[in-house]
Amino acid sequence: MDVHIEHLCKAYDGRPVLKNVSFTAIAGRVTCIMAPSGRGKTTLLRILLGLERADSGTVSLPAHCRWSAVFQEDRLLEHLDAMENLRFVLGGALDGAAARALLTELGLGDTAGKPVREFSGGMKCRLALARALLAPFDALALDEPFTGLDGDNRDRAWRCVLGRTAGRPVLLVSHELPPTGEFDLVRL
């Protein structure tokens, strides 16, 4: 399933943020969207996720496309622990063993029972990524997912993304290029 974006425009209070943006995010590949601050990277993802409407242009997706996302902020339920945060999104569909395996892979294996409000920024960031990767999805949007992660943790997180998104498009908004692997680059 590819995501086709054609002639997308969006302005706030008459100030254009997205100007005639067109590209295709190909299934099974990472599309890295780069631009200086304030050039509409997050707005673009918000439009794709259905949280905002574009002023004009089209986004071509299958009717029941399920998105998963890492937002710019962690957007976790601070009073719950890691597993409860995953259960909030996945409900009864949560595979406890798979979740524990991914949390361990991301270096969050020893956080059982600890509320998220006691997590460091980097831990929250990795938990938000785990949530996005465990949720069922057809396309994945990542908005600055590695902010606050050191080199090792960033590489580990990136390997988790590549290992769990096969055959589906990944849209990565970032100030820096992905650590490894092939990607398509879109500059706004």
Partner 1 sequence: MKKNTAQNSIRPWAVLFWLLVWQGASMALSAAYPHGHLLLASPAAALLRLGELAVTAAFWRAVGGSALRIFGGFLLSCLLAVLLAAMAARLRTVRELLAPLVAAVKTVPVVSFIILALVWLDSRSLPLFISALMVFPPVYLNVLAGIAAADNRLLEMARVFRVPLGRRLTGIYLPAVLPYFRSAVSLGLGLCWKAGVAAEVIGLPAGTIGERLYTAKVYFQTPDLFAWTAVIVAVSVAFEKLFLALVDRLAGKAGL
Residue that is written with structure tokens 């099974």 in the block: 28
84 binds partner 1 (CB under 8 A): yes
Number of H helices, E strands in the chain: 5, 8
Candidates 13-21, 26-34, 85-93, 165-173 — which segment interacts with partner 1 by CB under 8 A? 85-93
71 binds partner 1 (CB under 8 A): yes
Handedness of CA 62, 67, 72, 75 (dihedral sign): positive
Q: Which is nearer to partner 1, 114 or 175 (CB)?
A: 114
50 binds partner 1 (CB under 8 A): yes
Query: Pick from 145, 141, 132, 81: which is nearest to 108 by CA?
Result: 81
Binding positions for partner 1, 103-122, rule CB under 8 A:
115
163 binds partner 1 (CB under 8 A): no
Query: Pick from 73, 5, 17: which is nearest to 43 by CA?
Result: 17
Q: How many CB atoms lie within 10 A of CB 71?
A: 19
Q: Which is nearer to partner 1, 27 or 135 (CB)?
A: 135
Which residues here bind partner 1, judged by CB under 8 A? Answer: 49-51, 66-69, 71, 73, 75, 77, 79-80, 84, 88-89, 91, 115, 131, 135
